[in-house]
Structure 1
Amino acid sequence: MPYTEEEGGRLNNFAVEPKIYEAQPPSQTQQKNYLILGILGAVLVAGLIFVAFSVSKIG
């Protein structure tokens, strides 16, 4: 572990920093998968709301 020694013999320990890298934009396949998952999520939420209203006494 890297450390430095200060005046008076005190040691300062520093954490090892991870390597930095640039994020890559999603590929066409990943974009398509995100779109499909988003649509399925919206359908699921709409279905849950429909079921909630259909079993409640409000509707």
Structure 2
Amino acid sequence: MPYTTEEGGRLNNFAVEPKIYQAEPPTQGQQRNYIILGVAAIALIGGLLFIAVSVS
């Protein structure tokens, strides 16, 4: 673990930094999957709201 010695003999530890990489944009298939999951989530929330309103 990397460290430095400060005045008075104290050690100062530094965390290991993770490797940095540039994010890649989603592919066409991933974009399609995001749209499908978004529509499914909206349908699920809409269905739950419909059930809640009809029961009350």
Is 1:3–2:10 an aligned residue pair? no
Report what 2:13 is aligned to: 13
> For 2:33 and 2:5, how far apart are their aligned partners in 1?
52
Identity of aligned residues (%): 70
Give the superposition deviation at 1:7: 2.0
Structure 1 gap ranges (5+): none
CA deviations on 1:5-57 (whole Å, 9 max, x unpaired) are 1222111110101011111100000000000000000000110011011111x
Read off the aligned partner of 1:36 and give its amino acid letter.
Answer: I
Read off the aligned partner of 2:7 and give its amino acid letter.
Answer: E
User: Structure 1 length normalisation: TM-score?
Assistant: 0.89
* Superposition misfits of 4+ residues, deviation over 2 angstroms: none
Report what 2:29 is aligned to: 29
Backbone CA RMSD of aligned residues: 0.7
